[in-house]
Amino acid sequence: MKIKWMKLIISCCIGLLLIGLLISNNPAIAKEPYKVGVLGSFTGPYGVLLSDDRDGAILAGEEINKAGGISGHLLELIVMDDRGEATIAATAARKSIQQDKVVAIWMSGGSASNAAVVPITDKARIPQISELPTPEEFSKRPEKAPWNFVVHLSKKSQGERLTAYCKKKGYKNLVLLYDISRSMTDNKDNFVNALPSEIKVLAIEGYKSADTDMTAQLITLKGKNADALVIHGSGMGGAIAIKNAKQIGLTIPILGISELLGKERVACGGADEGVVAVGPRSLVFDTLPAGDPYTKIVQQFRDKWKARWGRDLGLFSPIGYDRMMLLSLALKKAGPEPSALRKALEQTDYKGVFGPIKYSPTKHEAPGMEAVVIMTIKDGKLVFLEE
């Protein structure tokens, strides 16, 4: 009997030793995961656009964990849908901070949701990495929201690039139609403010994101005999605006920002042919000039994306991926201590799929003008037009 007990004790000791060795050689098992709140408007008016953003983050998280995590810590993504409502976003943010103890919030909301969460993460002193520079003054002046970081094309860059295109084409008189949401209002204002004195805005009309017909506004604008129509809109609202413009016989060029030409443009029924927009080169990577380095970078990402999700890239696919990747780099460098993590983010110099991301203590928004190109719809496809 004694011998049996001795054998059992020895077997248990060996088993415990093996488990200990396994844990010590596999830090991902031994260490607590880094929890990240993935909060956004994944259903509701922005759902189609921002579900790509979310899935980009998930793809990055899966890659990071497959490679062993961050210094042995796996990423645990806590996904929360605010359905496009700021009050839900604020409640979810507080819960993830107070109960889930997240190290950062990866934010993918509409304008109101984004603005609602900024003061919460600022008060809690944890990084918020957003896809919208909303409110824009936060990203322009980090001292107003020192914990907020943005990965998106700045409204100023897009406005200046679209203005330069209008000037080059000789458009002297413009009419504007815009979604009255805060984000698109900012886009419209940045564009108008960038216009030189020789380019006039003859009329401006607005619509709500959920509107299903903009015919009345467009008839008013059509009567101004302008050289071009500029639409600051996105999602289904933008698609309806383009379709309505063609239905009333508007023949002048239609210009906008890349969000205008998202997946919802299929609702245009071909009315978007020839529409010109400013946007990131990642959207038109396969038609960029020969030798552009982003052709290969985005091609590799698209292959990974299609293998995982079985669909084509959207505007926000690389943005979501890049934000999670740059957070992981900062965590690897500094760990989860908030001040150290913020400092690491401010030292970021990352060549993302969406564009080069470089922050500083006085600049929390990237990329800039270098990521912006002019694109158009040709034969039903979004293609590169010019730098």
Question: For position 10, what pLDDT does the model report?
Answer: 43
At 19 the pLDDT is 39
pLDDT at site 287? 94
The ranges of the chain annotated as CATH 3.40.50.2300 are 32-153+296-369, 156-287+372-386
pLDDT at 7: 47
> What distance in Å separates the CA atoms of residue 303 and residue 243, rounded to the nearest whole number?
32
Task: Determine contact, residues 80/267, Cβ cutoff 8 Å.
Answer: no
Q: How far is it, in rounded angstroms, from Cα 300 to Cα 249?
A: 42
What one-letter code names the amino acid at 364?
H
Averages of pLDDT over each 10 residues, the chain, 387 residues: 46 41 47 96 85 96 97 97 94 97 93 88 95 56 79 80 93 96 83 91 94 96 97 90 96 91 83 93 90 91 96 90 96 96 94 90 83 92 90
pLDDT at 27: 47
Q: Pick one of 3.40.50.1580, 3.40.50.2300, 3.90.950.10, 1.10.274.10 as the CATH number of 156-287+372-386.
A: 3.40.50.2300
pLDDT at 140: 53
> What does pTM read for this prediction?
0.79
- CA pair distance 368, 76, nearest whole angstrom: 30
The pLDDT score that the predictor gives to residue 142 is 58
Q: With beta carbons less than 8 A apart as the criterion, state whether 152 and 133 touch.
A: yes
| Residue located via tokens 């071909």 | 270
CATH fold label, 32-153+296-369:
Rossmann fold (3.40.50)
